[in-house]
Amino acid sequence: MTTLSEQNKAIALRFGKEAWGNVPGWDRVWEELVAEDFVWYFCGSPEPIRGSKACQEFYAGLYRGFPDIQLLTVEHAIAEGDKVAFRT
């Protein structure tokens, strides 16, 4: 049996590997894993991007504008209870 931390870490790692870049079906993975009230603090945006759909639209535009964007490489991931962080 896996712990809550392990389950959440697996979800976060799947998100980091499958919901970014030019991965086929990234948008379906995004819809499956991201809560509707998601808030993204993107370094290039003066205000947070609020809502799963708004974030998904932002990234879809980013991928169209930069079709050769590289996938994230997850360097480290840590989890404790319902909190997960990973470094890319």
User: pLDDT tens, 3-46?
Assistant: 998 998 888 889 888 887 678 898 899 899 988 998 888 888 89
Measured CA to CA, the distance from residue 30 to residue 28 in angstroms comes to: 5
pLDDT value, residue 73: 78
For residue 69, pLDDT beyond 90? no
pLDDT value, residue 29: 93
Burial of 19 per CB tally in 10 Å (0-12, 13-18, 19+) = buried
What is residue 70's DSSP assignment?
A: P
- Non-local (6+) Cβ contacts of 86 within 8 A are 12, 13, 16, 74, 75, 76, 77, 78
pLDDT, tens digit (0-9, with 9 covering 90-100), for 39-58: 888 888 899 999 999 988 98
